[in-house]
Amino acid sequence: MDETAEGTVNGMTDQPGDATSPQADEAGTVQRASEPAFNLPSGLVAILVLLVAIHAVRTYVLPPGLDEELIFNFAFLPARYDHSLADQSLAWLWSPITYSFLHGSWEHLIFNGFWMIAFGAPVIRRIGMLRLALFWCLSAIAAVALHTVSHRGEMVVVVGASGVVAGLMGAAARFVFSPSGRISRQFAHLNRRLTVREALANRSVVVFAGIWFLTNFLIGLGVFAFGGAGGIAWEAHIGGFLFGFLLFGLFDPRNGPSKEE
Q: Which of 53-57, 136-140, 186-190, 242-246 has the lowest mean pLDDT?
A: 186-190
- The residue that leads in pLDDT, 1 or 9, is 1
Residue 1's pLDDT is what? 62
Q: What is the pLDDT of residues 32-41, one digit of tens each?
A: 444 454 689 9
Beta-bridge partner residues of 149: none
Mean pLDDT over 217-234 rounds to: 70
List all residues 6 or more positions away from 162 whose beta carbon is below 8 Å from its beta carbon.
Answer: 1, 2, 14, 111, 112, 115, 143, 233, 236, 237, 240
Helical packing angle, 42-60 and 106-150, nearest 10°? 90
Q: What is the pLDDT of residues 154-163, one digit of tens each?
A: 998 999 999 9
User: What domains does the chain contain, in order, with CATH numbers?
Assistant: 40-250 (1.20.1540.10)
Please give the pLDDT value at position 21.
44
Query: Against a cut of 0.85, is the pTM above it?
Result: no
**Residues 19-38, mean pLDDT to the nearest whole number:** 45
d(CA 161, CA 158): 10
Q: How far is 238 from 253, CA to CA, in rounded Å?
A: 25
Beta strand ranges found along the chain (DSSP E):
22-24, 30-32
C-alpha span between 219 and 3 (Å, rounded): 12
Name every residue whose Cβ is closer than 8 Å to that of residue 89 and which is 6 or more positions away in sequence: 73
